[in-house]
């Protein structure tokens, strides 16, 4: 598939000499410049890109807090297990 733009037939860019002036004016109707309708914007979307970025930032912050709390809990649990094992070894040694 080629995306090269193909030239249109009979579009050399030169003015046409074969048509009389009256035929040229009737061939292309005049365009009205001032009566163009403007596009009416509807209601804005509920969530813009700024809202999406804010939402992602909040989710990222929650994830960082969750991972940090999990690491802290694992550290405390490991210390508790070590102290419990040390107390058991001390009891056996007595």
pLDDT digits (tens, 9 = 90+) for 16-60: 566 555 555 555 555 556 666 777 777 766 668 888 999 999 999
Reported pTM? 0.42
Which pLDDT value is given to residue 49? 86
Is there a contact between 36 and 44 (Cβ–Cβ < 8 Å)? no
- Residue 88 is encoded by which pair of tokens? 């058991």
Is there a contact between 19 and 27 (Cβ–Cβ < 8 Å)? yes
pLDDT digits (tens, 9 = 90+) for 16-27: 566 555 555 555
Residues contacting residue 47 through CB under 8 Å, at least 6 positions apart = 55
HSE toward the beta carbon, residue 16, CA cutoff 13 A: 10
Mean pLDDT of the chain: 77
H/E segment holding residue 62: helix 49-93
């Amino acid at each position: 598939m080629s995306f090269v733009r193909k030239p249109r037939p009979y579009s050399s860019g030169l003015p046409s000499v074969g048509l009389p002036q009256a035929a040229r004016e009737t061939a292309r109707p005049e365009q009205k410049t001032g009566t163009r309708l403007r596009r009416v914007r509807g209601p804005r979307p509920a969530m813009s890109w700024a809202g999406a970025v804010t939402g992602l930032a909040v989710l990222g912050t929650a994830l960082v807090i969750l991972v940090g709390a999990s690491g802290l809990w694992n550290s405390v649990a490991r210390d508790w297990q070590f102290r419990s094992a040390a107390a058991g070894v001390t009891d056996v040694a007595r």
